[in-house]
């Protein structure tokens, strides 16, 4: 059997006794574009220095227009941190308080006297997420009025008692946009542009409008069931609104991150409030966690045809942006680029090939394990499957007698270390930038 060779990005290119991170990232991204068909733009900036900035694929596949560094993409829920900044700016000016009740701004909202602006900001209101409601999507193509949009979720039962749990809700951020309008007396788009976007020095960011002529606009695409590309599902921007209707560029999102953390948009006190984790490690419009040992503030976004990820590592002063106009998993790209910058091992994308092995080999590995979560490996019809408590069974295809890849194309692997007799002594769950030991139970 031939040896399988994997491209590990842990072998450094030497440049003045330091790693050439630009070269390492480019090697990874070229593989993502060539093998996984990444279509979009990425940017990595550390301590004010651009380490890497590059665009891949097409902004318009029909007209053969390539993506460039200044291509404008829809950023989906990355919008939420801009909306949160609007609210906090108004709070700083004394025009509202985050402890205000929803009924102060929408008097007839059911149980609105038990829901605060704070709860809307950190997804603890219990208000039903309108994008999870089947009745929203047939209407998503329409330019609905705000009253019509709110009516979709307004009378739905709360998911839980306000303030007691976390549940991501686009509805909450839609209502925050309405509150900005009521308090400021301005259209949300205008307030955002005049008081937040311009204050941050952004020139290529705004709320998207379908009737606007937007230079360097990227169209959104999805894979068709036949394997080729197709136009993404149409969605009117009245639906996403303050929960996810903005467009931006990688460069502007880096500028935005710098402006936000340098207190150019809101004061240091309110910035700290925004970055303070509540339930489920969520602040105001932004998540607060760590990537391995590196503290991180981040948010991703998904809207038909587009995927975005904006991550900032404050202790490292590292900003990583990845945006795709084919709905590609931008979070995975962002984490991989951060892993390269932190000298963690990363496997460049490749297409694993299934090999034929004796089905009796599967018997060595079946059983229950504990990795990050419980996982079971089982054999059925001379094939091996991965089973978890919540989620579908996924076939594990052999790449060798000790390494198996997930058949769903998710870049996940399970690998075993065996002794001379072939008995497994260790098992590992692996992704492109993670390796977790699986303990046999």
pLDDT tens figures, 393-403: 999 999 999 99
In a domain, 413, yes or no: yes
- Note the pLDDT tens digit of each residue in 210-252: 888 999 999 999 988 888 999 999 999 999 999 999 999 999 9
Which segment of 12-21, 46-55, 151-160, 313-322 scores lowest on mean pLDDT?
12-21
25 is a domain residue: no
Whether the pLDDT of residue 22 is over 70: the answer is: yes
94 inside domain: yes
Same domain, 132 and 257: yes
Asked if residues 371 and 436 have their Cβ atoms less than 8 Å apart, the reply is yes
Asked whether the beta carbons of 238 and 150 are under 8 A apart, the reply is: no
Residue 100 domain-assigned (yes or no): yes
In this structure, are 197 and 334 located in the same domain?
yes
Q: Tell me: the pLDDT tens digits for 311-351?
A: 999 999 999 999 999 988 899 999 999 999 999 988 888 88
Q: What is the pTM of this model?
A: 0.87
Q: What is the CATH number of the domain that holds 406?
A: 2.40.128
Tell me: do 290 and 376 sit in the same domain.
Answer: no
Domain match, 312 and 363 both: no
Number of domains, the chain: 2
235 with 378, same domain: the answer is no
Pair (261, 373) in one structural domain: no
Of 282, 310, 341, which residue is a domain's last? 341
Measured between alpha carbons, how far is 278 from 134 in angstroms, rounded to an integer?
29
Question: Six-digit token pair at 397?
Answer: 């295809």
Same domain, 377 and 249: no
* Whole-angstrom distance, CA of residue 436 vs CA of residue 86: 40
| Cα dihedral value 145, 147, 148, 151, nearest 10 | 160
Which residue segment(s) compose the domain that 301 sits in? 73-341
**Do both 216 and 82 map to the same domain?**
yes
Q: Are residues 175 and 307 in the same domain?
A: yes
279/239 same-domain check: yes
Query: Do 366 and 401 belong to one domain?
Result: yes
229 belongs to a structural domain? yes
Indicate whether 37 belongs to any domain: no
**CA 99 to CA 119: how far, in whole Å?**
9
């Amino acid at each position: 059997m031939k040896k399988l060779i994997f491209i590990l990005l842990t072998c450094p290119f030497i440049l003045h006794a330091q790693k050439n991170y630009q070269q390492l990232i480019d090697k990874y991204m070229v593989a993502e574009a060539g093998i996984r068909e990444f279509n979009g733009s990425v940017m990595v900036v550390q301590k004010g220095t651009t380490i890497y900035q590059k665009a891949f694929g097409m902004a318009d596949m029909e007209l053969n227009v390539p993506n460039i560094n200044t291509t404008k993409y829809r950023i989906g829920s990355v919008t939420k941190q801009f909306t949160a900044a609007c609210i906090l700016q108004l709070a700083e000016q004394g025009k509202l308080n985050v402890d205000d009740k929803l009924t102060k701004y929408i008097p007839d909202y059911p149980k609105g006297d038990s829901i605060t602006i704070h709860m809307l900001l950190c997804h603890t209101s219990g208000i039903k997420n309108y994008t999870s409601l089947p009745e929203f999507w047939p209407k998503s193509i329409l330019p609905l009025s705000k009253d019509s949009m709110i009516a979709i979720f307004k009378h739905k039962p709360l998911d839980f008692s306000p303030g007691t749990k976390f549940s991501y809700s686009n509805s909450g951020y839609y209502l925050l946009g309405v509150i900005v309008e009521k308090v400021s007396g301005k259209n949300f788009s205008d307030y955002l542009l005049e008081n937040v976007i311009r204050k941050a020095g952004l020139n290529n960011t705004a709320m998207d409008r379908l009737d606007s002529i937007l230079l360097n606009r990227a169209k959104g695409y999805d894979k068709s069931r036949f394997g080729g590309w197709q136009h993404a599902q149409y969605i009117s921007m009245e639906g996403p609104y303050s929960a996810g209707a903005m467009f931006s560029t990688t460069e502007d999102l880096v500028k935005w991150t710098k402006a936000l953390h340098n207190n150019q948009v809101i004061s240091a006190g309110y910035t700290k409030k925004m970055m303070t984790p509540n339930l489920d490690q969520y602040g105001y419009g932004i998540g607060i966690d760590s990537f391995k040992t590196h503290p991180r503030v981040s948010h991703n976004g998904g809207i038909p045809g587009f995927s975005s990820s904006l991550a900032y590592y404050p202790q490292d002063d590292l900003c990583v942006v990845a945006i795709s106009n084919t709905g590609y998993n931008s979070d995975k790209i962002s984490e991989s680029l951060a892993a390269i910058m932190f000298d963690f091992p990363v496997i460049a994308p490749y297409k694993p090939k299934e090999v034929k092995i004796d089905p009796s080999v599967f018997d060595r590995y079946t059983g229950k394990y504990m990795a990050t979560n419980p996982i079971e490996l089982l054999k059925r019809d001379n094939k091996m499957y991965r089973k978890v408590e919540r989620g579908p069974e996924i076939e594990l295809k052999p790449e060798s007698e000790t390494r198996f890849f997930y058949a769903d194309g998710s870049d996940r692997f399970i690998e075993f270390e065996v002794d001379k007799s072939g008995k497994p002594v260790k098992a590992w769950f692996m992704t492109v930038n993670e390796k977790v030991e699986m303990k046999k139970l």
